[in-house]
């Protein structure tokens, strides 16, 4: 299949399962923020579930088909238009040369995933095709899509196989968390300020981390403690000195010096992909 | 002579797919030795389910696939390995001697530090270059190098307002630590000089030049030499040896 970018959208990148195993060099594992959406999109077009997909952020690209194949879009708040006609959700779409594809965001969309049938000819770094931006520096330049680029895959005529894979759940704003290593640094008051209440995502928030409008105080005796830097992961909720909770995302730092008060459940990480500035969420402690 | 090591270890769950191992061996260097020895043994023994490990100072984050192993199983395995590690398991690391320029325009905080530390710039640079630094961790950003053993005389505060851009390859100090910035990035540490090469290159193998447990000495060069070194391949600029 061959698709040309007529427009790129706000930020459209290649993402796959990321590059675990390099955090000792400071390289985050990264990869598609919503793994279940990525897998299901790949499943629909007959690709390996961890094959690269396009990750769309806030506004989607306009693509022109040069060689036919199948695509599938998974992403709440986005519509896939084929020659101007909205397509049914959760189905693969056959596309022919000359067709125009537009990924259109409705009011709520933050991220969507487009799978493209066939084997990707993607630049890989440390075993992954995923884009990674550090500051203004793109570490995998071939994973960034701009106007005029051509995405080409080598056809393999694999039909989607019958599978027990279920479509991803619609995103929820309830994020399940467990206590982090410094959870005890919060007293009852601090826990009440952070847990089981609506908090808002504020700017800047991106694939590195989600900032929130929280002002949470640590226990009195912990407020001036300088921590020795220690490992963090995607989904770690750090509290800055100013009391702001930052939820680390998949391109986040690998070690940090702020108290790690909570850790999001793995299954909640996918939901974080769909939270944009202004959205609200609830951190909910898992009963143990 | 005993080869076993004395230390306290605490392992606790950190979410549903990681364990945090905290080590206390009395001081940072000794704890760091244990962390590195444990990390080396964990990777050598290919424990089922472990996806990656992140060593930093006195802790080791062990990430795993919950489908392939579980907290209690992994805790038992880590305890068993910790019981057997000895001084020979501490990775030797590399010994580096690297040129750096501490003159303007690379020493962005020169004037402020002269005032803050009540020393002239030459003695600050001499003091910095007299010490040997230990790489305690590589992380935060890809290739960001955390250095320990900064002389007490160079203790200084972070900037109240971090710079929007610290140039790549800058050498920085803050509190009891020194560090090397791999990329142009925001930063609040005090900038005292620059290396004539980059410490993280995606196309190099491995991409990060320095690894935890390496030792680094800096050798001050003047701006003319620095500019000449910038043009040369990195291998001809730095001296590297395996420790001991």
- The per-residue pLDDT for A21 is 96
Condensed to tens digits (0 to 9), the pLDDT of residues A205-261 reads: 999 999 999 999 999 999 888 788 999 999 999 998 889 999 999 999 999 989 999
Residues 211-240 in B contacting A (C-alpha not used; CB under 8 Å): 211-212
Give the whole-angstrom CA distance, residue B77 versus residue A176: 28
Mean pLDDT of B63-81: 96
Choosing among B24, B56, B60, B163, which should be mutated to test the A contact, i.e. which has the most A CBs within 10 A?
B56
- Mean pLDDT across the stretch B194-218? 96
Which is nearest to B168 in space by CA: B241, B211, B106? B106
* Contact across the interface for A253 and B140, Cβ inside 8 Å: yes
Query: In whole angstroms, what is the distance from residue A96 CA to residue A114 CA?
Result: 16
In eight-state DSSP terms, residue B152 is: G
B/e letters for B15-35, b = 16+ CB within 10 Å, e = fewer, are bbbbbbbbbebeebebbbbbb
Minimal-distance CA residue of chain A relative to B166: A135
Q: Is B162 in the A-facing interface, judged by CB distances under 8 Å?
A: no
Task: Write down the pLDDT at residue A97.
Answer: 98
Domain coordinates in residue numbering, chain A: 2-154, 174-285
Sign of the CA dihedral with B15 first, then B16, B18, and B23 last: positive
Closest CA to A101 of A144, A58, A64, A75: A64
Assess contact for B155 and B134: CB atoms under 8 A: no
Residue A254, min C-alpha distance to chain B (Å)? 5
How far is the C-alpha of A262 from the C-alpha of A284, rounded, in Å? 10
User: Is residue B3's pLDDT more than 60?
Assistant: no
**Nearest residue to B146 (alpha-carbon basis) of B197, B87, B228, B214:** B214
pLDDT, one tens digit per residue, over B84-142 is: 998 889 998 999 999 999 999 999 999 999 999 999 999 999 999 999 999 999 999 99
- Indicate if the pLDDT at residue B1 is higher than 60: no
Q: Quick one: how far is CA B220 from the chain centroid? A: 20
pLDDT at A157: 57
**Parallel/antiparallel/unpaired status of strands A245-248 and A236-239:** antiparallel
Could you give the CA distance from residue A248 to residue A246 in angstroms, rounded to a whole number? Answer: 6
A5-14, A18-27, B2-11: which range is least confident on average? B2-11
Residue (of A188, A207, A115) closest to A153 by Cα position: A115
Q: What percent of chain A is modeled with pLDDT above 70?
A: 98
Higher pLDDT, A170 or A179: A179
Render pLDDT for A58-93 as a digit per residue (tens, 0 to 9): 999 999 999 999 999 999 899 999 999 999 989 999
Residues near A184 by beta carbon (within 8 Å), at least 6 away in sequence: A219
Q: Which domains does chain B have, with CATH numbers?
A: 8-89 (3.30.1360.40), 94-242 (2.40.100.10)
- Confidence band for A7, pLDDT divided at 50, 70 and 90: very high
Closest CA to A241 of A273, A266, A215: A215
pLDDT for res B229: 96
Confidence band, pLDDT 50/70/90 cuts, at residue A158: low
Q: What is the pLDDT of residues A126-140, one digit of tens each?
A: 999 999 999 889 999
pLDDT at residue A28, as a whole number: 98
C-alpha torsion A215→A221→A222→A224, nearest 10: 90
Strands (E), B57-124: 59-64, 94-100
The rounded percent of chain B whose pLDDT value lies above 90 is 83
Name which residue leads in pLDDT, A159 or B1: A159
**Which chain A residue has the Cα nearest residue B146?**
A229
Residue B24 confidence (pLDDT) above 80 = yes
Interhelix angle for B28-44 vs B71-84, to 10°?
110
Q: Across the interface, do B138 and A178 touch by the CB < 8 Å criterion?
A: no
Q: Residue A165 — very low, low, confident or very high, per pLDDT cuts 50/70/90?
A: confident
Give pLDDT, residue A245: 96
Q: What are the residues of chain A with a beta carbon less than 8 Å away from any beta carbon of chain B?
A: 20-29, 125-126, 134-137, 139-140, 178, 180-181, 226, 228-233, 235-236, 253-256, 260, 263-266
**Beta-strand relationship, A260-264 and A236-239:** antiparallel
> Looking at residues A37-65, what average pLDDT do you find?
96
Q: Contact at 8 Å (CB) between A186 and A245?
A: no
Q: What is the pLDDT at residue A161?
A: 63
* Rounded Cα–Cα distance for residues A48 and A220 (Å): 51
pLDDT level of residue B52 (50, 70, 90 thresholds): very high
Q: What is the ipTM of this complex?
A: 0.94
Q: What average pLDDT does range B43-72 have in this prediction?
A: 95
Q: Is A7 helix (H, G, I), strand (E, B) or coil?
A: strand
Q: Give the DSSP letter string of A64-83.
A: EEEE-EEEEEE-TTEEEEET
C-alpha span between A244 and A255 (Å, rounded):
18
| Out of B60, B61, B66, closest to residue A233 by CB | B61
| Interface contact flag, B15 A180, Cβ < 8 Å | yes
Chain A interface mutation, best of B25, B30, B61, B188, highest count of A Cβ atoms under 10 Å: B61
- Residue showing tokens 């994973």: A143
Cβ contacts below 8 Å, chain A against chain B, sum to: 128
For domain A174-285, which architecture applies?
Answer: Beta Barrel (2.40)
The pLDDT of residue B244 is 61
Ranges of H-type helices in B71-120: 71-84, 110-117
Residue B51 has pLDDT above 80, yes or no: yes
A35: left (phi over 0), alpha (psi -120 to 50) or beta: alpha
Helix (H, G, I), strand (E, B) or coil at B133: strand
Which of the four pLDDT bands, split at 50, 70 and 90, describes residue A155? confident
Amino acid B17: pLDDT:
97
pLDDT score of B160: 81
Instruction: For residue B125, give the H/E element and its range.
Output: helix B121-130
pLDDT of residue A162 exceeding 70: no
pLDDT, average across residues A171-197: 95
Phi and psi at residue B42, in whole multiples of 5°?
-60, -40
pLDDT digit string, tens, across residues B142-193: 999 999 989 999 999 888 888 989 999 999 999 889 999 999 988 889 999 9
Query: What number of other Cβ atoms are within 10 A of residue A169's Cβ?
Result: 11
Residue A226: predicted pLDDT: 77
Q: Which helix (H) or strand (E) holds A86?
A: strand A85-86
Question: Which DSSP string corresponds to A158-216?
Answer: -PPPP--PPPPPPP-SEEEEEE-TTGGGS-HHHHHHHSSSEEEEESS-SSSEEEE----
What is residue B2's predicted lDDT score, i.e. its pLDDT?
47
């Amino acid at each position: 299949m061959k698709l040309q970018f007529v427009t790129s959208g706000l930020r459209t990148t290649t993402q796959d399962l990321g590059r675990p195993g390099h955090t000792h060099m400071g390289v985050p594992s990264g990869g598609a923020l919503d793994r279940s959406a990525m897998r299901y999109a790949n499943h629909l077009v007959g690709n390996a579930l961890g094959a690269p997909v396009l990750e769309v952020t806030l506004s989607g690209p306009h693509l022109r088909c040069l060689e036919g194949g199948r695509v599938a879009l998974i992403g709440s708040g986005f519509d896939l238009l084929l020659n101007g006609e909205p397509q049914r959700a959760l189905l693969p779409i056959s596309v022919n040369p000359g067709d125009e594809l537009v990924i259109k965001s409705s009011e709520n969309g933050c991220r969507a995933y487009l799978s493209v049938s066939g084997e990707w000819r993607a630049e890989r770094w440390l075993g992954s095709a995923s884009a990674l931006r550090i500051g203004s520096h793109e570490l995998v330049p071939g994973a960034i899509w701009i106007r005029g680029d051509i995405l080409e895959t080598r056809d393999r005529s694999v039909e989607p196989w019958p599978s027990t894979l279920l479509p991803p759940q619609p995103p929820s704003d309830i994020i399940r968390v467990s206590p982090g290593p410094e959870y005890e640094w919060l007293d009852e008051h601090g826990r009440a300020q952070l847990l089981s209440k609506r908090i808002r995502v504020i700017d800047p928030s991106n694939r590195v981390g989600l900032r929130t409008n929280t002002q949470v105080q640590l226990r009195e005796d912990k407020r001036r403690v300088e921590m020795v830097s220690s490992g963090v992961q995607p989904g770690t909720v750090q509290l800055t000195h100013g009391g702001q909770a930052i939820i680390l995302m998949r391109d986040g730092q690998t070690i940090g010096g702020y108290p790690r008060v909570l850790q999001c459940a793995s299954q909640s990480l996918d939901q974080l992909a769909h939270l944009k500035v202004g959205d609200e969420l609830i951190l909910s402690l898992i009963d143990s | 002579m005993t080869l076993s090591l004395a230390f306290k270890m605490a392992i606790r769950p950190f979410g549903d797919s990681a364990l945090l191992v905290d080590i206390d061996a009395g001081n940072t260097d000794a704890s760091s030795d244990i962390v590195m020895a444990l990390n080396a043994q964990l990777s050598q023994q290919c424990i089922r389910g472990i996806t990656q490990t992140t060593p930093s100072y006195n802790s080791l984050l062990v990430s795993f696939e919950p489908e392939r192993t579980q907290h209690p199983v992994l805790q038992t395995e880590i305890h068993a390995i910790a019981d057997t590690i000895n001084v020979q398991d501490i990775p030797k690391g590399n010994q580096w001697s690297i040129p750096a320029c501490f003159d303007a325009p690379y020493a962005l905080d020169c004037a402020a530090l002269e005032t803050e530390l009540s020393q002239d710039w030459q003695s600050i640079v001499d003091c910095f270059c007299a010490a040997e630094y230990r790489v305690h961790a590589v992380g935060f950003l890809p290739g960001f190098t955390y250095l320990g053993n900064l002389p007490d005389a160079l203790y200084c505060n972070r900037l109240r307002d971090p710079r929007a851009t610290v140039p790549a390859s800058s050498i920085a100090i803050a509190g009891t630590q020194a560090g090397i910035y791999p990329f142009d990035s925001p930063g609040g540490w005090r900038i005292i000089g620059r290396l004539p090469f980059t410490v993280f290159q995606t196309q190099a193998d491995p991409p990060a030049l320095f690894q935890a447990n390496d030792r680094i000495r800096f050798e001050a060069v003047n701006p003319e030499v620095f500019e000449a070194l910038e043009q040369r391949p990195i291998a001809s600029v730095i001296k590297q040896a395996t420790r001991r």
